[in-house]
Structure 1
Amino acid sequence: MSLGLPSWTDLWLAIGLGIVIGLISEYVGCKSKKAGNRSLLLLSVGGVVCLIYTYPLGSAVLLISFAAYAAIVTMQLTDGRDKYLELKEKVRHLGVEEIAVQRKFSRLAIDVLLTLLVTVGMVLAIIYLPEEQSVLPVINLFILLSIYGKLVERMIIFLTTKVYFVQQEGQLLIVSRNKSKQLPLHELEAVHVESAPDVLKLNHLFVVFTSHEDYTVNLGRVLCLTYPGESIYLTLTETDRWKVRFAQYLPPEQAAAIEERTTLPLWHPALLKRLAGKLYYAVTIKGISAYSALVVLLYQLGVPVWSMMVIILLWWGLNLYFSDRVLAAALDIKEIREGKVYEAAQRIFQQAGLGRVRLYATEAADYNGMAIGMNVGRSMIVLTSATLKLPLKALEGIIAHEAVHVQKRDVLMGQVLRLAGLGLLGGLIALWFDELQTLVVEQTWIVISIVVALIWLFPVYLSLIHQWMEVRADHLGSTYLEGGKAQMAEALRQLAVHQERALDKSLEYSLTSTARENEGSGRLSVLERDKWGWRLLEFQLLLHPPMYWRINTLLTYRQGWGLGLAKRWLVERFKESLPDRLIAGKNSNHKSGAGI
């Protein structure tokens, strides 16, 4: 295979090895966690040694990567084992009432069908692309491991989920082998009923935000329970009875006005446009199935490689142009046309010179806002339903930040610069292709070193671009606020605090009692300056600078956005990535922002 890639048989064997290692270590871990960890270590070392001994070093490294990823995906399927065992014991010893559910495989069949529909292009690339095009199928195989791992997780949830009500403790127990939850009903925030599962909202392949937990097991009525950080979707046999029962834990005004929503079936004509939009999002933005299918088609037609690249780039550009409509379909947005938030947004848009930007809301438990669209005339700002619960001043700060992203066309520039980086890498590989082939055979370690360096450097390059845009949006956006930088800093603080609380709660529902006690000890807030290792990852690999740094900079830097602030960000991006003992004056600025 090109550049010494291993054969498909070897790749499948490596994946099988990883799955076996994951299953054995998890089985042993059921008896003893320490023994499970030891078996994982021994099997992993043994597998690595075996692959390195059997294959050339370049092939061995790729096979080890596939085996490791397959093992990780396999072990993720049993992440919730401890909570499952704890709740099974609780059910056995407490007076609980089992809530009846009726499984119908038609519900699971829809998820399987949608997954196959989204991934068909990647599967075709693996089957039909020849040896010289093997890099794309190998990438697809990595992606498919994750996607089909999620499908297996969904199957386990479907087959094993049971639901219990613990009246004396006011708790709802969802007992599933890989995703059990212990939900205190006094923390319930809202309840609504849907006429059927909205699979385009529940399936992770069709959504931007993934705060929905899908426990539906048939195509009947759905009871949705909203908690901090997530929404739980259940199909219970006696939906109305349990709706009334759970509503007792809500404030009286909410309990009296529980919403009933109608969900249209996938084959309904009115839903076809939504289905087409979400499917297009899944195969072009969330995955690469559409691009893979296009490559297969062009290859079968005998199109030259350079023409393939031109066609794919043109289609990529077209997708960028229509990205606002594609993402709008994925987000299921609703336009905000009145109210205090709308009025505040119009004031900010007017100051920013954005006459054609619209404000939308999407239903999600995440605290987030985003700008979408490749140019000002086709852009929109979207806030999640959770974010809209924040104080108005905080919402003004979030809208002002996103307005700068629209004003500066950051979405477009981010994609163009990403493509430029990939193009540069591709050009260098094409330029030195013959030399690389020789090195694969004669000096494999050099090629491995280059690959490892690129794996790290490309995310650093992306981080550099996007963090610069985020810092600019913070400081330019503050000029559109009455409270200036202080209001923007408080908006970021509110967003971070609420998101952190929601994530903590969501995690708490899935952790065992022992894990919950250990989770809070010694853990820093996102508003605090963390240890060196975490700072290095945050500053060099993430797309947003650490929140403690963003807030502190807004409160301490007195000038506006310009060369001075850009230089400060670059210098502190480097300094904050160093161990504390190497940073001169580390106690001056950053400590003051630690608790904001």
Structure 2
Amino acid sequence: MRHPSLVARMAVVGSILFALYAAAAMVAYAAFGLPYPIIIALSVLFVGVQYKIGKWAALRSVGAEDLSEDRFPEIHRQVEALSDEMGIEKPRLMIARMGVPNAFAVGRKGAGTVVVSEELLRTLNDDEVEGVLAHELAHIGNRDVVMMVLGQGIASIVAIVAQWVVLLTGDNDIADFFLALVVGQIVQLFVMLFVMAISRYREYVADSDAAGAIGGGEPLARALEKISSENERAQESAIDQEVSALCIFGDTSGLARLFATHPPIEKRIERLRN
């Protein structure tokens, strides 16, 4: 196995998420009398729609456009070589103006898309850009985007079932409606704790895979330092918040780190250099 630690963590988190989903399915069966095959089919449809809409919304939110091979031949060459090295198909390449240097990947193996910001290309040198691209390709190769959507889908399903339980067991008045909203949010946050924990570890794995593909971690470490510095100088925009879970950079402090999609930037840099 390429990443035994990741497999072990995924087994634990996956078991917890499956248990929560199974509990929600049993509650849905008891409350609505829906057969389990229908519950499973509706769940798959829900997650599938969430995946499609999420990919479309992420690209639309940044105004991403195709990255011209005539204007950026070096980037296309880098991605083609890295894709061959990592054993994946070359993804679609797009560019966007995000206000800060950043990059993110959406999609899955064979149907992936990597978006880089204009600011990223202006800020980083060729080796550093290659490190960032390798990181995003690692996310596609490791199916990280699909796993995140699946985790978020389960969290949403469990939250919806919890809301209906409150409504069906209450007096069905306005107070129960607001209570259901609060309960749904709390339940979803609880489930997302497990999803975010595995997301943070997957960032370390993507960094490691990128370093292996480009022959060392120093270019990506330097890229993260520059990206972090530029983000500190720029104010966060609404666009950055919408796609923050997909971007290469993400950092929070205090209790908010429990719900962060990325580990602290300084720890990533330290690991890359060690």
Amino acid at match of 1:416: L
TM-fit CA distance, 1:356: 3.2
Q: Which residue of 2 aligns with 1:314?
A: 45
1:536 corresponds to 2:270: no
Map 1:479-558 → 2, pairs under 5 A: 479-482=212-215, 484-503=216-235, 534-538=253-257, 540-556=258-274
Relative to total residues, which structure has the larger helix share, 1 or 2? 2
Which 4+ residue blocks in structure 1 deviate beyond 4 angstroms?
Answer: 304-313, 321-330, 425-434, 446-453
Contact 1:394–1:494 under 8 Å retained in 2: no
TM-fit CA distance, 1:359: 2.1
- CA shift in 2, pair 1:451/1:314, >3 Å: closer
Structure 2 CA distance for aligned equivalents of residues 543 and 418 of structure 1: 12
When the two chains are superposed, the root-mean-square deviation of aligned CA atoms in Å is: 3.9
TM-score (norm 1): 0.32
Structure 1 CA distance for aligned equivalents of residues 54 and 181 of structure 2: 36
The answer for unaligned runs of 5 or more in structure 2 is: 1-31, 174-178, 238-248
Amino acid at match of 1:547: I
TM-fit CA distance, 1:324: 4.8
TM-fit CA distance, 1:343: 2.0
Equivalenced residue count is: 218
TM-score (norm 2): 0.65
Q: Which residue of 1 aligns with 2:92?
A: 358
Structure 2 CA distance for aligned equivalents of residues 336 and 376 of structure 1: 22
Q: Which residue of 2 aligns with 1:255?
A: none
TM-fit CA distance, 1:460: 2.1
Q: Which residue of 2 aligns with 1:415?
A: 149
Contact 2:163–2:180 under 8 Å retained in 1: no
Structure 1 CA distance for aligned equivalents of residues 91 and 188 of structure 2: 37
- CA shift in 2, pair 1:327/1:432, >3 Å: closer
Q: Which has the higher contact order (CA 8 A, sep 6+)?
A: 2
Q: Which of 197, 218, 233 in structure 2 is aligned with 1:464?
A: 197
Name the SS for the 2:110 alignment partner: helix
TM-fit CA distance, 1:437: 3.3
Map 1:76-95 → 2, pairs under 5 A: none
TM-fit CA distance, 1:309: 9.7
Map 1:16-27 → 2, pairs under 5 A: none
Contact 1:466–1:544 under 8 Å retained in 2: yes
Map 1:328-347 → 2, pairs under 5 A: 328-330=59-61, 331-337=63-69, 338-347=72-81
- CA shift in 2, pair 1:377/1:451, >3 Å: closer
Contact 1:324–1:379 under 8 Å retained in 2: no
Contact 1:371–1:403 under 8 Å retained in 2: yes
Amino acid at match of 2:207: D
Map 1:84-163 → 2, pairs under 5 A: none
Structure 2 CA distance for aligned equivalents of residues 487 and 422 of structure 1: 38
- CA shift in 2, pair 1:466/1:340, >3 Å: same
1:387 corresponds to 2:120: yes
Name the SS for the 2:104 alignment partner: strand
Contact 1:364–1:384 under 8 Å retained in 2: yes
Contact 2:85–2:213 under 8 Å retained in 1: yes
Structure 1 CA distance for aligned equivalents of residues 96 and 33 of structure 2: 41
Amino acid at match of 2:205: R
Structure 2 CA distance for aligned equivalents of residues 343 and 448 of structure 1: 49
Contact 1:394–1:488 under 8 Å retained in 2: yes
Q: Which of 127, 132, 139 in structure 2 is aligned with 1:405?
A: 139
CA offsets, 1:228-255, max 9 Å, x none? Answer: xxxxxxxxxxxxxxxxxxxxxxxxxxxx
Amino acid at match of 1:350: D
TM-fit CA distance, 1:410: 1.2
Contact 1:324–1:380 under 8 Å retained in 2: no
Amino acid at match of 2:223: A
TM-fit CA distance, 1:486: 2.3
Contact 1:367–1:387 under 8 Å retained in 2: yes
TM-fit CA distance, 1:463: 1.8
The answer for unaligned runs of 5 or more in structure 1 is: 1-303, 441-445, 507-526, 557-596
Structure 1 CA distance for aligned equivalents of residues 80 and 60 of structure 2: 24
Amino acid at match of 2:270: N
Q: Which residue of 2 aligns with 1:12?
A: none
TM-fit CA distance, 1:345: 2.1
CA offsets, 1:307-343, max 9 Å, x none? Answer: 8996686265146247656654553312241432222
Name the SS for the 1:347 alignment partner: helix
Name the SS for the 2:101 alignment partner: coil
- CA shift in 2, pair 1:451/1:315, >3 Å: closer
- CA shift in 2, pair 1:392/1:503, >3 Å: farther
The structure whose Rg is larger is: 1
CA offsets, 1:413-455, max 9 Å, x none? Answer: 1111111233344456667876x539x9xxxxx9999678536
Percentage of pairs with the same residue: 19
Name the SS for the 2:89 alignment partner: coil
Amino acid at match of 1:355: E
Name the SS for the 1:356 alignment partner: coil
- CA shift in 2, pair 1:451/1:554, >3 Å: same
Amino acid at match of 1:333: E
Structure 1 CA distance for aligned equivalents of residues 40 and 261 of structure 2: 28
Amino acid at match of 2:235: L
CA offsets, 1:368-407, max 9 Å, x none? Answer: 101012x212111110111111211211111011001110
